[in-house]
Amino acid sequence: MRIYSIGLIRKAFTRTMGTALLTGLFLILSPLANAAETPFIWWPEADYDPAVPTLEQVVGHETGTKISWHAQIVAYFRALEAYAPDRVKLFSYGKTWEGRELIYAAITSPANMARLDDIRAGMKALADPRVTDAARARTLTGDLPAIVWLAYSVHGNEISPSDAAMQTAYHLLAARGDDRVAGMLDNTVVIINPLQNPDGRDRFIHRFETTLGLEPDSDPLSAEHNEPWPNGRTNHYLFDMNRDWIILTQPETRGHVAALQDWYPQVFVDLHEMGGNSTYYFAPEAVPYNPHLAQNQRDSLFLFGRTNAKWFDRFGFDYFTRDIFDAFYPGYGASWPAYYGAISMTYEQASSRGLLFRRNDGSEFDYRSTVRQHFVASLATIETTATNRQKLLDDFYDFQVTAIEEGRNDRTQRTYLFPGTRDRAGTRKLMGILAEQGIEISRAEAEFRACGQSYPAGTHVIDTAQPRKRMIRTLLDRQIDMEADFVRIQEARRARDLPHDIYDVTGWSLPVMFNVDMETCGRPVTTGLVPVTMDRIATGTLSNPEASVAFLSPWGDMAAGRLLAAALRAELTVKTHDEGFNHQGRVWPAGTLIFDVADNAADLGATLTALAAETGAEIVGVSSSWVDSGKDFGSRAVRTVPRIRVAMAWDDPTSSYAAGNTRFVLERQIGYPVTAIRTDALKTADLTRYHVLILPGEGFGGSYMDTLGETGAATLKDWVRRGGVLVGTHTALRYLTHEKIKLLSTARENQPRGDEAAGTSGDEKSRVAATIINSRDDMRALLTPATELPDSLPGVLVHANVDGDHWLGAGVAPTLSVLARGRDIYAPVAMDKARTVAWFAGADDLLASGYIWQENREQMAYKPFALVESAGRGYVIGFTQDPTVRAYLDGLNVILANAVFRGAAHARPVR
């Protein structure tokens, strides 16, 4: 495809990378370079105004001849703004973990730019029919431009979108021959977020440029096309930010969601890349659709798809629609905006993952051609928005009107109530995250009754008679069902041993993942409520700062977890009570933290007051250590938590997601530093200075068995026996339980079988015993492997029960929500080998949210989730599923903190 352009890209590359001498050599050696320099055609009719700055003028390369760095992208948009402040305005919406600026640009006609603040206010008015009646809305929708938001490259190694973003902006300002442009600028405000993941993109480019030679190489085998761990897809903490929109753990997503609510764009597109052997994907999305999408949103996907198709046909670009990328999970960039009322879409371009790419069929394509396809789709989307301006604005307002009506008429789930009596900090954080997504929340000033139940003062209340009703339902409901037809097809595929087509997790209910109490009521709560806005962390309290004996803080939520981490970092002496006790009429839970006045500096009260404020913890000073019942503070039930050093495996074969997510939870949610150690170094490392080592699950780059093997196991065993705490999660248990390793005494289970599969021959020779097959079923039985693993789960929330008497379960909720993924189910293990501290619930109680295969439901019941095995002076702790996946299982943070801190407090190293 377009050989001339590949010649040009090789030549352009040599010009920018090489010296004059090298360029001379290249011109002599390369026949391609002798071809006439045909200019690359971005848009056939476009005649670009030479006064508008080009990318080459600003950063030194033509669009598509290099992969532009974050700094170059920012510089280019600044240059456009400086050149045409009457049409371009830049906004900053935050910084990445590594300090790179996050920007977006609004581009529109001078007339619209002059009233940009009014347009923004108009969108906010349309978003709330309670303050904007139908007549006023009609005036607004008749007058306002529509807003279309194009967001590029959330995955940093998906490179062409960001360069297409710059070409799109340039075209809107400079194209004189494309007669659509004037209408686009008059009828829309185009908002371009050119790069959602600067840290990941720069990581990709740095690695890519390091591998380059004389000319770009199209071979998929070349180093140019293969990224080391961690690849550029993720951000600094190795998050897939395209799953983060409902939970907002990362600053990039958080800032983006806040920015969207400044503008309420009616159209949102997230532009990605997929494998190089594919073509181009745009809307409509594949089934299943989330049931809380409105009908006109589903219909409008076809409007956009058809205009895109028209231009793709004209230019001869291949594409596909209605396949693979579904509209069910609400946490994608291309899903979340739908729940405030946008038409929300994903576009996917086959990636050159470099400057040139060779497909499996031998044909080549260059980076510039991929940039062009995203550019054409971007313009087509703006065109569709402009030509459907009035309809899109009317639909947007109607979405809000019907949302409120549906909420108001709901006789079963009108109101969601969060009493917050258990896990106050988790409830508070959840409310903060919902508020950041625009959900209105109230708090009860006094005790009240609703639907026959009594609720305490401080209960948070969400009334669904508000514009975000559909978002509330999709984020909070315990169960969202996939379309029945779709489920039937998936089950039929499984029955024929074909893979299912479920794209992502099937359960994401936030109250389930946070494991906080929520109830619903079919009536509004009408009295005693005050609207609240809030941060995720409440200010904590310390009472009786002059206490003479100790300060106590109840364990069981992440406020206490943050307090423990902060206290250790502040070098306080902290003890924990494994069993709980009664003291002066108050019940203190297992795990309660004790700060003895005698063990700490004289300013302990002041230090703890500051720590309470920052962590949200409740701290109570006491002037007597006498307990009414339970074990005394000087008993064996009380342990000192050492100032631990935590290490974790980092790099292949560790999953970058699991490693990054786990490090994030420990460092940024709990507040404790983690030392990342390259996995292969662990094979022989002296780990003496570490108390805890975490082995996160395996990724796609090999296995711990290959990397660490028996030598690594000997190193780890020796370290554990001397007092180390080894914590393995999810697929890391394949290694810990391997028959040659046996760091943990359980084993992965196969699929259960009847005796029908016993017929395969065990004959080692070249001939086998004859069989007579009487039916298709008999044939199937013979074709079935003798042993198989359970079918892989795409992701479902299940319940696990906890032994609160064991230190690993101290202060932990009696029932947990665990995201079960994959096919690893572990066998029960006898108590003399290991303690099963948390286990999956019985089959009837197992499902918390989502869809689970029936066989897995039966097989998982009562199987271990959390195990502790004692070895010498240390412990091996195993979680059979990942407790930190996407950092969104907040309800598992207490048991994780127990594994790390309490595990270290129970180990007995001699140092």
Residue numbers of the site for Zn ion (CB under 5 A)? 155, 158, 272
CB of 157 to Zn ion, least distance (A): 9
Contact 896, 865 (CB under 8 A): no
Output the six-digit token pair for 578: 């494994």
CB of 170 to Zn ion, least distance (A): 24
Q: Of 203 and 414, which CB lies nearer to Zn ion in the complex structure? A: 203
**What letter does residue 134 receive in the DSSP assignment?**
H
Output the six-digit token pair for 684: 């022989």
What is the Rg, in whole angstroms, of the alpha carbon atoms belonging to the chain? 30
3-state helix, strand, coil in the chain (%, to 5): 40, 20, 40
CB of 154 to Zn ion, least distance (A): 6
Q: Of 155 and 201, which CB lies nearer to Zn ion in the complex structure? A: 155
What is the Cα–Cα distance from 644 to 690, expressed in whole angstroms? Answer: 7
Contact 472, 764 (CB under 8 A): no
**Among 717, 908, 906, 688, CA closest to 808:** 906
Q: Which residue in the shown chain puts its C-beta closest to Zn ion? A: 272
CB of 273 to Zn ion, least distance (A): 6
Q: Of 158 and 869, which CB lies nearer to Zn ion in the complex structure? A: 158
Residue type, 714: A
Q: Of 159 and 433, which CB lies nearer to Zn ion in the complex structure? A: 159
CB of 323 to Zn ion, least distance (A): 16
CB of 696 to Zn ion, least distance (A): 22
Q: Of 201 and 738, which CB lies nearer to Zn ion in the complex structure? A: 201
Q: Residue 654: helix, strand or coil by DSSP? A: strand
Give burial (CB, 10 Å; 0-12/13-18/19+) of 499. exposed
Contact 441, 460 (CB under 8 A): yes
Q: Of 153 and 609, which CB lies nearer to Zn ion in the complex structure? A: 153
Q: Are strands 326-327 and 286-289 parallel, antiparallel or unpaired?
A: parallel
Residue type, 734: R
Q: Of 281 and 312, which CB lies nearer to Zn ion in the complex structure? A: 281
CB of 701 to Zn ion, least distance (A): 19
CB of 274 to Zn ion, least distance (A): 7
CB of 315 to Zn ion, least distance (A): 23
Q: Are strands 280-281 and 343-350 parallel, antiparallel or unpaired?
A: antiparallel
Residue type, 529: L
What is the Cα–Cα distance from 797 to 818, expressed in whole angstroms? Answer: 5
Q: How far is CA 679 from CA 451, 653, 674, in A?
A: 55, 7, 14
CB of 481 to Zn ion, least distance (A): 27
Q: Which H or E run includes 705?
A: helix 704-707
**Among 391, 318, 398, CA closest to 359:** 318
CB of 242 to Zn ion, least distance (A): 6
**Among 635, 568, 636, 555, CA closest to 804:** 555
Q: Cα angle at 819 between 670 and 728, to 5 degrees?
A: 60
Q: Which H or E run includes 771?
A: none
Q: Are strands 460-463 and 541-543 parallel, antiparallel or unpaired?
A: unpaired
What is the Cα–Cα distance from 735 to 697, expressed in whole angstroms? Answer: 10
CB of 255 to Zn ion, least distance (A): 19
Q: Of 252 and 394, which CB lies nearer to Zn ion in the complex structure? A: 252
The neighbour count for residue 772, using CB atoms within 10 Å, is 5
Instruction: Collect all residues with Cβ–Cβ distance below 8 Å to 91 and sequence separation of at least 6.
Output: 103, 104, 105, 106, 259
φ, ψ (nearest 5 deg) of residue 51: -75, -25
Q: Of 149 and 588, which CB lies nearer to Zn ion in the complex structure? A: 149
φ, ψ (nearest 5 deg) of residue 671: 100, 30
CB of 272 to Zn ion, least distance (A): 3
What is the Cα–Cα distance from 830 to 312, expressed in whole angstroms? Answer: 63
Q: Of 243 and 428, which CB lies nearer to Zn ion in the complex structure? A: 243
Q: Of 239 and 448, which CB lies nearer to Zn ion in the complex structure? A: 239
Q: Which H or E run includes 339?
A: none
Sign of CA dihedral 132, 138, 143, 144: positive
Long-range contacts of 833-836 (CB under 8 A, 24+ apart): 833/745, 833/869, 834/744, 834/745, 834/746, 834/867, 834/868, 834/869, 835/803, 835/806, 835/808, 835/867, 835/868, 835/869, 836/803, 836/864, 836/866, 836/867
Q: Of 32 and 274, which CB lies nearer to Zn ion in the complex structure? A: 274
CB of 155 to Zn ion, least distance (A): 4
What is the Cα–Cα distance from 18 to 26, expressed in whole angstroms? Answer: 9
CB of 248 to Zn ion, least distance (A): 19
CB of 282 to Zn ion, least distance (A): 14
Contact 545, 606 (CB under 8 A): yes
φ, ψ (nearest 5 deg) of residue 737: -105, 0
Q: Of 245 and 551, which CB lies nearer to Zn ion in the complex structure? A: 245
Q: Of 231 and 479, which CB lies nearer to Zn ion in the complex structure? A: 231
